Amino acid sequence: MRFTRRSVLQGLALAASLPAMGRSPFAQPADALRKVIPSSHEEIPAIGLGTWITFNVGDDPVLKDECAAVIAAFFEGGGRLIDSSPMYGSSQPTIGYGLKNLGYPDRLFAAEKVWISDPASGPEQIEASRAYWGVEKFDLMQVHNLVSWEDHLPMLFEMKAKAQLRYVGITTSEGRRHREIESIMTSEPIDFVQLTYNILDREAEERILPLAQEKGIAVIINRPFRQGSLIRQLDDEPLPEWIAETGARSWAQFLLKFIVSHPAVTCAIPATTRVDHVRENLEAGGGVLPDETMRRRMVDYVEAL
Amino acid sequence: MSEWWTYTPADFLMFTPRVYVRLIERYNQDFWPLQLVFVAGMLAIMVLAVREVRFAKVALLPAFAVAWVFCAWQFLWLRYSTINWGATYATMAFSLQAGLLALLSLDPNHRIAVSRLRRYGGMALALFGLLVHPLLALLSTRSLAAAQTFGMMPDPTAISTLGTVLAIRGRRLLLLLPIPLLWCAFSGLILLAMEDRGAVVPLASIVVVAALLLVPGRSRNPPGNP
């Protein structure tokens, strides 16, 4: 376990507040931000749950229970969208374990990926993923990292037409293949695009996010904390006082508010192994969203550190 | 893989160090005290082989084959592959290595390397994998419950194999080097991505093997062989 100033302070705060409040100080926001999926006008909470690395715990019963507790807290806090991939090791069965413990919550928005170079094996992989999750069908199926997307997308559109899934998307991360992403967004009737965007990685602002708005494509944001390194980098820096007016009380909330306040962004998917962190993340979807002026101020502040 | 130059070892790390350490701890608990049997058994065979005891010389490579099969089956296939799909491919490589060890054990013409440097360097590396490597868990702020021992875990098994092969003379035995060397590189990168100080061990082993390979296996004028 990694002890940081942030985790120790939060642990102390939690310990102090539990007797009085009976729950975490990062409680479910009553005014949780919801965003609209342009292709259907369905609303989903702006904070989702990623599972890369964090839910890959093998068959370790202790760690599986910890992940199940994270999933429970996620739904308790009003969360809906959980995202995974066949590439994420044992994350899929771990999600299935957590969902089964909760009796498969109705409001789950199941987002998965197809990740296989052989196009003929795509349906088989999707079925295996579905069995791991234990769900009837997925809400969203994305082509992971554009692997064989020319072949997988027609298959996914066909599944959507047969009501075997509700949305189709594509993914990338860390700024890779943005030209190709743009091309697919322009030429294919996809519902979602998933990519990396955070306060330091803002390349998507130039072309992809405006294009998503123009084309009516929902946007999922991965690596909001650069796999935790952004939080570790900022942990010892003072949180600016002026951010308090948005309701942000931690760097995690600062960073998430920056992301979901972009008008093109539909949902950010931070991953965590900790219940207090998932509550903290969900709370970032409440309060006041930074406006354009404050967003610029946030960028300037972080870049100056 | 497109834009491969943008990837770093950390991009391939699929699990947290905590998950990895707990995996090893639970694996060790499942088989304790088999770890002692592997280490003591291999040590005895090595010592007797050096003393030219015929049974030990015959048993040396098959004993390594058993260790590689056990690592492949119990650790890589049944356990590690649950958190790292790359371990599935490593299982195949380890099985191939076990097959090579078994096959080459049929050749009776292996001799201890005549070059002192290569002989003692190889033996030192083999003994390091056998006796010192398990203690490295303490350096990585783990307890001995997560110790990696010969026959149970790939790193010490690969390192001991490399050392032993170098200490033996036999051109065809060089076939036994690529797979353990590749494993050391793979394991070193994974440990580096986990920011584990133990990463230096498999990576340094590669350097040691490369250096010892530059030393001829036999002396220019070996005794009794003018």
For the stretch B118-147, pLDDT in tens is 899 999 999 999 999 999 988 776 789 999
Mean pLDDT value across chain B: 89
- Contact between chains at B82 and A58 (C-beta distance less than 8 A): yes
For an interface test with B, give the residue of A3, A53, A56, A144 to mutate (most B CBs within 10 A): A56
- E strand or H helix that includes residue A42: strand A42-45
Domain-located, residue B123:
yes
What's the pLDDT score for residue B111?
A: 66
What's the pLDDT score for residue A257?
A: 96
Q: Using CA coordinates, name the residue in chain A closest to B15.
A: A53
A66/B140: higher pLDDT: A66
- The mean pLDDT of A12-36, rounded to a whole number, is 52
How many distinct structural domains can be found in chain B?
Answer: 1
Return the number of other C-beta atoms located less than 10 Å from residue A14's C-beta: 17
Domain-located, residue B10:
no
Range of lowest pLDDT (A81-90, A167-176, B103-112): B103-112
A16 pLDDT exceeds 60? Answer: no
Confidence band for A286, pLDDT divided at 50, 70 and 90? confident
Range of lowest pLDDT (A179-188, A279-288, B124-133): A279-288
Q: Using CA coordinates, name the residue in chain B closest to A59.
A: B82
pLDDT tens per residue, range B22-50: 999 999 999 999 999 999 999 999 999 98
pLDDT tens per residue, range B165-217: 999 877 788 899 999 999 999 999 999 999 888 999 999 999 999 999 987 75
- The mean pLDDT of A272-286, rounded to a whole number, is 95
The chain A residues in contact with chain B (CB within 8 A) are 1, 53-54, 56-60, 62-63, 87-90, 174-177, 227, 273
Cβ-based burial of B157 (10 A; exposed 0-12, middle 13-18, buried ≥19): buried
Identify the domain containing residue B40 by its residue range. 20-213
Domain-located, residue B35:
yes
Q: Which of A56, A60, A176 sits opposite B22 (nearest CB)?
A: A60
- The mean pLDDT of A172-193, rounded to a whole number, is 94
Domain-located, residue B50:
yes
Domain-located, residue B54:
yes
A6/A218: higher pLDDT: A218
B4 pLDDT exceeds 90? Answer: no
Confidence band for A3, pLDDT divided at 50, 70 and 90? very low
What's the pLDDT score for residue B114?
A: 67
A240 pLDDT exceeds 90? Answer: yes
Q: Which of B18, B79, B85 sits opposite A89 (nearest CB)?
A: B85
Inter-helix orientation angle B54-70/B34-50, to 10°: 150
Spatial separation of the C-alpha atoms in residues A200 and B39, rounded to whole Å: 50
- The mean pLDDT of A69-78, rounded to a whole number, is 96
For an interface test with B, give the residue of A2, A52, A57 to mutate (most B CBs within 10 A): A57
Q: Using CA coordinates, name the residue in chain A closest to B22.
A: A60
Domain-located, residue B40:
yes
Nearest-Cα distance to chain A for B85, in Å, is: 6
A-chain residues near B15 (CB < 8 A):
53, 56-58, 89
What's the pLDDT score for residue B108?
A: 66
For an interface test with B, give the residue of A90, A177, A273 to mutate (most B CBs within 10 A): A90
Q: What is the ipTM of this complex?
A: 0.86
Domain-located, residue B34:
yes
The pairing of beta strand A138-143 with beta strand A165-171: parallel
Domain-located, residue B63:
yes
Confidence band for B112, pLDDT divided at 50, 70 and 90? low
What's the pLDDT score for residue B3?
A: 66
Nearest-Cα distance to chain A for B82, in Å, is: 5
B223 pLDDT exceeds 80? Answer: no
Confidence band for A188, pLDDT divided at 50, 70 and 90? very high
- Contact between chains at B14 and A63 (C-beta distance less than 8 A): no
Q: Which of B2, B11, B83 sits opposite A58 (nearest CB)?
A: B83
What's the pLDDT score for residue A283?
A: 94
With beta carbons less than 8 A apart as the criterion, state whether A85 and A49 touch. Answer: no
B6 pLDDT exceeds 90? Answer: no
Nearest-Cα distance to chain B for A136, in Å, is: 24
Confidence band for B224, pLDDT divided at 50, 70 and 90? very low
